[in-house]
Amino acid sequence: MAEVFGATSTTEEVLKGINLQGKRFLVTGVSAGLGVETARALVAHGADVVGTARDLNKAATATTDVQKAAEANGGSFRVIELDLADLKSVRAAADSLLASGEQFDAVIANAGVMATPFGHTVDGFETQFGTNHLGHFVFVNRIASLIKDGGRLVNLSSAGHRFSNVNIEDPNFEKTPYDTFAGYGRSKTANILFAVAFDRRHRGRGVRATAVHPGGIQTELGRHMGNEQLEAWVKQINQQLAAEGKGPFEFKTVPQGAATSVWAAVVAPADEIGAHYCENCHVSSIVPDEVVINVNSEGVRGYALDPENAEALWKKSEEMVQESF
């Protein structure tokens, strides 16, 4: 019987006894937090990992333990430059991987930004939607042929997808007032919808795509939230939990946060997670839009898994990046 993992499971617990020598993974965003731990856990079990980062110097400093773990366990680790907020950089990174021709057992689209002030990427897209979704949309689609038959795509989403559905008519907030968390919600919903549409296109060769919520973790992702804003947010969550008769909110550790990513990429049955949303190392259920849920609650909004919504986003994304996949 397969071991059951949950909210407090760590990367080491999820990968216990698994030998990943000969397996190759691509992890975006390895200059901090979850990306670093995801890469470390994989190489510690013998895997070959290619990481991406916007700032190669920062990544080199952040991944010294990853390099040591790779050397000690028969794996390998290297980092390539990728700025998801610049499609020229995205396409250059994809081209370099295609030129090498090395394939991957799984791609983990981990990188992202959260609750940023209103701004735009190099190509003029709203910062969060452009970075979290469109950058990965172009990058992953361009290297899709490098994902081995039977491989996987794992998109990091968030419980923040509950803040907002995507807005196909106004993705860049040109007609509607900008709200930091509405922007974050749109981008995280897009990450799920991208997985749904990618899964439909590639499942014929056994490639399955899923989206995961790592949980509430204190990493660099929250650097745009001030201490007062963070404290107010936690206070609101705790009030909701108290009303439900539950204990106070607790942040996950980074190894606990990265566990669902490696579980989905390595351990979980592919057919169970394909075109689904996972959290706490299991597939999550749909929760009606009218049900109030917080970051400690589980559940995915139906609009984030809707195939028609996914196809509409795919078409809009192609229009925006001026490239068809």
Tell me the catalytic residues.
157, 184, 188
CA dihedral for 56, 57, 59, 63, sign (positive or negative): positive
DSSP state, 9?
Answer: -
Please name which of 136, 197, 190, 144 lies closest in space to residue 167, comparing C-alpha atoms: 190
Give the Cβ contact number of residue 83 at 10 Å. Answer: 20
Q: Which two tokens stand for residue 33?
A: 């937090």
Q: Calculate the alpha carbon distances from 238 to 8, 68, 231 in Å.
A: 19, 40, 10
> How many Å apart are CA 321 and CA 135, to the nearest integer?
9
Could you give phi then psi for residue 107, rounded to 5 degrees?
-110, 125
Query: Is residue 212 within 8 Å of residue 158, measured between CB atoms?
Result: no
DSSP state, 2?
Answer: P
